[in-house]
Amino acid sequence: MNTRNHRMSVFYQIRKKTGLSQEDLGRLLDVSFSTVNRWENGKQSPRLDFKQWKTITILLTGLGIDAKDLPDNSFGEIKRLHKKRPEDFIKE
């Protein structure tokens, strides 16, 4: 694992794998894109309510990722996420 990926925000990793923009993720979580940006850059710690956590869980499930694969904080590599190929996410 390289250092850059290790310091990558969980939100950034989810966004990139799902193809969501910061605005899209913000809309899903009912926050502004600038809030998502601050989370990704480590300028603000996320404080998710139940509805937001449920949305993240649904996104993770769609990616085949379990919450236990998340790092202990909002920065760190999501286990198994980078081992999947893009075609693994396409449903026919």
Which tens digit of pLDDT belongs to each residue from 6-34?
A: 357 889 988 888 899 999 999 999 999 99
Q: Check which CATH number belongs to the domain holding 11 and give it.
A: 1.10.260
76 is a domain residue: yes
Q: Total structural domains in the chain?
A: 1
> Over 60: is that where the pLDDT of 1 sits?
no
> Over 50: is that where the pLDDT of 3 sits?
no
90 is a domain residue: no
Query: Nearest CA to 74 among 46, 32, 48, 49?
Result: 46
- Identify the domain containing residue 66 by its residue range: 3-85
Distances (CA, A) of 52 to 29, 55, 76, 85, 91: 5, 5, 20, 26, 25
Between 35 and 69, whose confidence is greater? 35
53 is a domain residue: yes
pLDDT for 37 equals: 94
92 is a domain residue: no
91 is a domain residue: no
